[in-house]
Amino acid sequence: MLTITSQLPIGLTGTVSVVAAFIAGWFSWRLISGQPTAKSLAITGGALIVGGIFFTLVFLGSMAVIKDTSQGPMIGIFIAAPLGILLGALGGYQYATKFAISDLQNDK
């Protein structure tokens, strides 16, 4: 998506994509294993994962369902991806806060 929406060099967009994929993978790994995560990692990971899912579903889904439209992919880029990032960040914050509160209650 960064290559589509910006004029940055291809090496920089590739590096940013690899770093984002690493953060999302790290957060997923910690989430599945049940380990506590920092709020910043939960917010970033949630935003990347949910934003990526929203973008992929709307961008590719609109092209698969309605083949003649050119606005479907734009909805994926400009509406669905930012909305997914926002919802993912809120979900990651909620998860990290809930997990931290339950740890504090278990320590007492």
The pLDDT value given to residue 80: 93
Work out the angle at residue 11's Cα, subtended by the Cα atoms of residues 6 and 14, and round it to the nearest 5 degrees: 75
Residues with Cβ < 8 Å from 8, sequence gap 6 or more? 2, 16
Domain spans in the chain, listed from the N-terminal domain onward = 7-103
User: For residues 58 and 45, what is the distance between their CA atoms, to the nearest angstrom?
Assistant: 20
pLDDT, tens digit, 9 for 90 and up, residues 39-53: 998 999 999 999 999
Is residue 6 very low, low, confident or very high in pLDDT (cuts 50, 70, 90)? confident
* Cα atoms in the 13 Å half-sphere on the side-chain side of 69: 15
pLDDT given for residue 100 in this prediction: 64
Q: What percent of the chain has pLDDT over 90?
A: 41
